[in-house]
Amino acid sequence: MRSTFHGLETAKKALFTQQAALNTLGHNVANANTPGYSRQRVNMATTPSMDYPGLAKSTEAGQLGTGVFAKSIERVREGFLDNQFRNENKSSGEWQARAHALDKLQAIFNEPSDTGLSKVLNNFYLSWQSLGRDPDKLETRAVVKQATTDLVSEFAKTDAKLSELDADLGEGIEARVDEFNQVTSQVRQLNDQIRTLEVLGDKANDLRDRRDLLVDQLSKLANITVREQNGAYNISVGDTLVVNGINPTVPLTYDKVNNTTSFPVAGGEISGQMNSRREYVSVYRAQLDSLVNGMVNGKFDVSLPNEYTFEAGVTNLPYDVKLPNGTVMTKGSPIAPGFKLPKGTVMTFNGLNELHSFGYTMQSPATKAGPLFETADGSTTFTAANIRVAKAILDDVRNIAASHTTYVDANGDTQVKRGNGDIAFMIGESISSQIDFKDGLPNNSAILTKGTVASYMRAMIGQLGAQGQTAERQVQNQEALLNQIENMRQSVSGVSLDEEMSNMIKFQQSYSAAARCVNTIDQLLDTVINRMAAN
């Protein structure tokens, strides 16, 4: 037997449920632009219909509906897309960090340009050609001194900028690591809150959205994997479980000096920046150092532009030589006093310093020249940071060697032949000499084992350019991929205002209709109660 007020009750449920739907719709519209928000939907279901089978079941036609209720409020979201997004976000973070570092490296090396290191290197070698023409002029010596000083300071500047970039990257990693730790502890807190709420059977939609947003943020920083267990997220980086339910998180720490983290990180911005330090910045620094040491100490051949006569006192050949007729004579071979090397003889020197020391200064009486470069710390291995122009040359440009020949003047003093510019020409010509960057030198990371200074620079810059190009392309690819996945996510979870508005009208109409039902039942009851009374 149905209740007299059954209809009122059904209509009331409808009013409440449509209102709940409208409220949720308002929440969706309000959060249409909230990052990480996924639209929510009220799941409506019918309330149990009457009557239940039983002895007391009425004989009326059965299963009368009793109305509607809001069964749950759910967010619309696809976990599969989240996983995809996070996976691509990881690579995107890694490549963005790398591209950023490579961009800065390209700016530091500044090629091709009129002011880059290769230009300064060229100027250095070419200035010696001018000295070869005018070996007795102080002004050309001053030009050589300036070009040499420029070269040394360009090496120092480049190295200082590389070291700055290295430090910047180190600080950047520290900041990212802090962020990572903060976010993981926030995820842990949200795990706690979500679990508490969901024990009661509700869905903690908004908290879950916030947690997913934080995990998205994490995925840009490191290679995380997420597993949901009893409503809580367990997050691991590689084999390390960083967030485990509501247990304390495992913090990530970074050792700036050794460029290592407390547990291995293999993707995302943190790894991208660490790899940039390891694979780019320190490699280019080491390559630059090897270039410097190769120039100063590396073995190379250069041919005599003029004939050369050894002084009477020289009994053993001080250098490897190859005469124009093809005869090869090794260093240390005995030679006759006044042994003559013809023009075009190829001589082998251990670096510019040895070639420079082969000559004489412009001082009177004649003095053997010292090295062209020296180190700030007295070490025998030159680096971009410790190379200096020899102090003797900075003090007096006469100490630059241009000539290799002397004579005894009327007073019996040995004097240098000032019109001889052969040493200067040989240094100038050594721009096209193949230098041994590894052979005979301490273990180093030269990019070429043998080559000219210019080809070494080209190899470095070419490698940098190729790496930069790859990184830029990867960043673009990742951006496109992320954009596509984000689009798919938005397609599922995003709030569509059109949809919400048409739903609004739908719910509003239902609400009005339910109200109309109340009205009608009221009239029915009016008929029964007021008009059917005995007069």
Partner 1 sequence: MRVTQNMMNAQMMYNLNRNNTRMDKYQEMLATSKKLNKPSDDPVGVGYAMRYEAQVARIDQYKRNVNDGTSHLEMTDTLLSQVNSLLQRANELAVRGATESMSIDAREAIAAEVRHLYSQMVTTGNSQFNGRYVFNGQKTDVQPYDLINAESSVTDTATINYMMSEGDSIQINVTGNLVFGESADPDNAFAVLKKLEADLLANNTAGVNSAINTLDSRMNKVQQQWSDVGARMNRTELIGNRLEDFDLNVQKLLSQTVDADIPGTIVNLKMAEAVQRSSLEVGARVIQPTLIDFLR
Total site size for partner 1, rule CB under 8 A: 71
Question: Is 65 in contact with 10 (CB distance < 8 Å)?
Answer: yes
In three-state secondary structure terms, 415 is strand
Helices of type H across 298-441: 351-357, 391-395, 422-429
Q: Give CA–CA dist 229/188, Å, rounded.
A: 13
Select from 82-90, 143-151, 480-488, 518-526 the region that touches partner 1 (CB under 8 A): 480-488
Contact with partner 1 (CB under 8 A) among 194, 243, 317, 495: 495
Q: Which residue has the tokens 């290769």?
A: 118
Q: What is the largest CA-CA distance in the chain?
A: 161
Within 202-231, which residues bind partner 1 (CB under 8 A)? none
Q: From the CB of 288, what's the least distance to partner 1, in Å?
A: 15
Whether 273 contacts 173, CB under 8 Å = yes
Q: How far apart are CA 99 and CA 475, in angstroms?
A: 7
* 256 part of the interface to partner 1, by CB under 8 A: no
Which residue number, 386 or 403, has a Cβ lying nearer to partner 1?
403
Chain positions 309 to 368 lying near partner 1, rule: CB under 8 A, are 343
> Which tokens sit at 18?
């449509």
The distance of closest approach from Cβ of residue 401 to partner 1 in the complex, given in angstroms and rounded to an integer, is 14
Edge-to-edge order in the sheet of strand 328-329: 299-303, 346-350, 320-322, 328-329
List the one residue from 139, 239, 395, 498 that touches partner 1 (CB under 8 A): 498
Round to whole Å and give the CA distance between 74 and 38.
10
Site for partner 1 in 87-106 (CB under 8 A): 102, 106
CA distances from 495 to 29, 81, 84, 179, 499 (A): 7, 17, 21, 29, 8
- Name the one range near partner 1 by CB under 8 A: 130-138, 177-185, 277-285, 516-524: 130-138
Least gap, CB of 471 to partner 1 (angstroms) = 8
Q: Which amino acid is at 70?
A: A
Q: Is 236 in the site for partner 1 (CB under 8 A)?
A: no
CB nearer partner 1, residue 48 or residue 462: 462
Only segment of 119-127, 166-174, 391-399, 436-444 that touches partner 1 (CB under 8 A): 119-127
**Please, which residue, 382 or 425, has the CB nearer to partner 1?**
425
For partner 1, which is the closer residue by CB, 236 or 306? 306
| Part of the chain binding partner 1 (CB under 8 A), chosen from 133-141, 190-198, 219-227, 311-319 | 133-141
* Smallest separation (angstroms) from partner 1 to the CB of 462: 5
Residue 136 vs 396, nearer CB to partner 1: 136
152 neighbors 376 (Cβ within 8 angstroms): no
The yes or no reply on residue 196 touching partner 1 (CB under 8 A) is: no
Residue with Cβ nearer partner 1 (99 or 187): 99
Token code pair at residue 84: 């995809």
Residues in 272-301 at the binding interface with partner 1, rule: CB under 8 A: none
Q: Of 14 and 147, which has the nearer Cβ to partner 1?
A: 147
Nearer to partner 1, 303 or 444 (CB): 303
Stretch that binds partner 1, among 16-24, 114-122, 277-285, 518-526 (CB under 8 A): 114-122
Least separation in angstroms between residue 135's CB and partner 1 is 9
Beta-bridge partners for 302: 347
Residue with smaller CB distance to partner 1, 122 or 244: 122
Q: Between 39 and 188, name the residue whose CB sits nearer to partner 1.
A: 39
Binding-site member from 160, 197, 286, 431 for partner 1 (CB under 8 A): 431
Residue 135 DSSP class: T
Please pick, from the candidates 63, 247, 333, 502, the single residue that binds partner 1 as defined by CB under 8 A.
Answer: 502
* Residue 239, φ and ψ in degrees, nearest 5: -95, -5
Contact flags string 403-422 toward partner 1, x per CB under 8 A: x-x-x-x-----x-xxxxxx
- Tokens representing 395 are 């003090």
Stretch of 7-15, 353-361, 427-435, 520-528 lying at the interface with partner 1 (CB under 8 A): 427-435
Q: Of residues 441-470, which lie at the interface with partner 1 (CB under 8 A)?
A: 454, 457-458, 461-469
Is residue 111 a contact partner of residue 463, using CB atoms and an 8 Å limit?
no
* Contact by Cβ (8 Å): 347, 302: yes
Q: Are 109 and 116 within 8 A, CB to CB?
A: yes
Give the pair of three-digit tokens for residue 50. Answer: 């009457």
> Which of 146, 357, 363, 490 touches partner 1 by CB under 8 A?
490
Query: Minimum Å distance from CB 118 to partner 1?
Result: 5
Restricting to residues 506-525, name those near partner 1 by CB under 8 A: none
Question: CB-wise, 87 or 122, nearer to partner 1?
Answer: 122
Residues within window 21-50 making contact with partner 1, judged by CB under 8 A:
32-33
Q: Which tokens is 349 given?
A: 């020197």
| Minimum separation from the CB atom of position 160 to partner 1 (A) | 21
Contact by Cβ (8 Å): 287, 280: no
Residue 250 or 482: which CB sits closer to partner 1?
482
Closest distance between partner 1 and the C-beta of residue 463, in Å? Answer: 8
The token duo for 285 is 């620094």
Nearest to 324 by CA among 348, 340, 344, 304: 344
How far is 270 from 282, CA to CA, in rounded Å?
17
Evaluate whether 126 touches 428 at the Cβ level (below 8 Å).
Answer: yes
Structure tokens at 74: 């759910």
Taking a C-beta distance cutoff of 8 angstroms, is the pair 335, 314 a contact?
yes
